[in-house]
Amino acid sequence: MNASDRGLPLAGTKILAFTQLGAGPYAMTLLGDLGAEIVKVEDPATGGDEARNVPPFAEAGDSLYFQALNRNARSLTLNLRIPQGRALLHRLAAHFDAVYANPRGDLPAKLGLDYASLKSANPRIVCCTLTGYGRDGPRHAEPAYDYLLQSMAGFMGLTGAPDTPPTKSGISIVDFSGGTMSALGLVIGLLRARDSGVGGDVDVSLLDTAISMLNYLASWNLTRGTEPRRLADSAHPSLVPSQIFATADGYIVVMCMKEKFWQRLAELIDLGQLIDDPRFTTIAARLDNRDTLIPILKERFLTGDTAHWIARLRGQVPAAAVSSIAEALRDEQVLHRNMVIEYEHERFGRIRQVGSPLKLDGFQPVYGPASRLGADTADILRDLLDLEDEEIGELRQLGAV
């Protein structure tokens, strides 16, 4: 059953995706889950996306890493370094709504993946690029990766304990955020093309995305010159208590983002006498007296285990246990929201992954494996371009596909 049969919201939207590794494939997964037809284009001369060989659990040009980021994608091999490959790109562009790519910023124009190169083949086509630094500027031609952008955008300087080296996030937060932003940009471009009949370029960068996420911290710095500092226990810079606390058997995060939560917390952990203490009666007072209040709370949380405190605070004060990945994936709310899904794969058997975070009334996302390298090339060329097997064979001999 294909996407259109299931009434998925992006059914009928065709995207030619020149993606690799994490950020771009994540964007395409978000759209593919919603019914977009993703044709992943890979270079036949290089063995395709490097993600196919990322360990662990990699074999025969496929990996669980690759499957996690490319589900539902069909695979077309195409070599843009030779004229025959470029010619095929132009012929294919006439049959797609969008071309999406996540190369270096200097490559879209060189490879002919921008609107200026493809508008003659399809004036309605939307050309969306996700690059490290954007398609212009002094660093546009430089390679960029999530780790580098976490460092450059100031994320690592904000993360970790005060007496430890700067720390990166445990997940590829810039890649995934950039992927999400580019998916949004692509959909906006498609809406514009639908209304106007004219496509265009969408230029999204990982650096721009990361800088935008500094948000209120950036405003404090730009407007008042404040340089945020790392605090012990991953504490919030303004709100007290909002941080990690050790329990008798683990850790818990408590966030008193409103005055009422502080008052409830004090009562529920049997420290009600602190509510009327003038040192702690307001957000500003607790911030000024952080060094007095936090040791009192730390001592109290050590008297019970994590389950005890979660049972007391749940639904009354924003609180959560610090979970392992396995624990997070077993959470009752996660399972209720269908955030753990599975499908069958010819090599890995039953693959279990996280599901789509987007819930739209009246439909269920579609989940399936990513194709083997080039598995769909011949079918796509036959179906869209009416090529005969002999011509496809000649293109293979030339190295175009």
Tell me, yes or no, whether 208 and 145 share the same domain.
Answer: yes
Closest CA to 67 of 377, 326, 355, 353: 353
The active-site residue, picked from 33, 175, 201, 203, is 175
In tens, the pLDDT along 192-214 reads 999 999 999 999 999 999 999 99
Q: Which residues pair with 252 in a beta bridge?
A: 245, 321
169 and 134 together in one domain: yes
* Res. 7 pLDDT band, cuts 50 70 90: confident
CATH code of 242's domain: 3.30.1540.10
Please name which of 126, 95, 100 lies closest in space to residue 201, comparing C-alpha atoms: 126
On whether both 141 and 198 belong to a single domain, the answer is yes
pLDDT for the residue 235? 95
In the chain, the number of structural domains is: 2
Q: pLDDT tens for residues 320-364?
A: 999 999 999 999 999 999 999 999 998 899 999 999 999 998 888
3-class SS shares of the chain: helix, strand, coil, % to 5: 40, 15, 45
**Distance between first and last Cα of the chain:** 28
Instruction: Give the predicted TM-score (pTM) of the model.
Output: 0.92
Inside any domain, residue 219? no
**The pLDDT value given to residue 6:** 56
Residue 274 lies in a domain: yes
Active-site residue flag, 305: no
- Co-location of 17 and 52 in the same domain: yes
Residue 351 lies in a domain: yes
CATH value at residue 197: 3.40.50.10540
Domain of residue 102, residue span: 4-213+341-398
Please provide residue 74's backbone torsions phi and psi, each rounded to the nearest 5 degrees. -85, 160
pLDDT above 90: percentage of residues in the chain? 89
- Residue ranges of alpha helices (H) inside 159-235 are 173-196, 206-212, 215-224
Same domain for 166 and 37, yes or no, is yes
- Supply the angle between the helices 259-268 and 306-313 in degrees, to the nearest 10: 130
Lowest-confidence segment of 1-15, 257-271, 303-317, 383-397 by average pLDDT: 1-15
The answer to whether residues 289 and 354 belong to one domain is no
**Both 292 and 180 in a single domain?**
no
pLDDT value of position 399:
87
Per-residue pLDDT band for 46 (boundaries 50, 70, 90) equals: confident
The interaxial angle of helices 389-398 and 377-385, nearest 10 deg, is 130
Whether the Cβ atoms of residue 319 and residue 252 lie closer than 8 Å to each other: yes
Rounded CA separation 280/289 (Å): 7
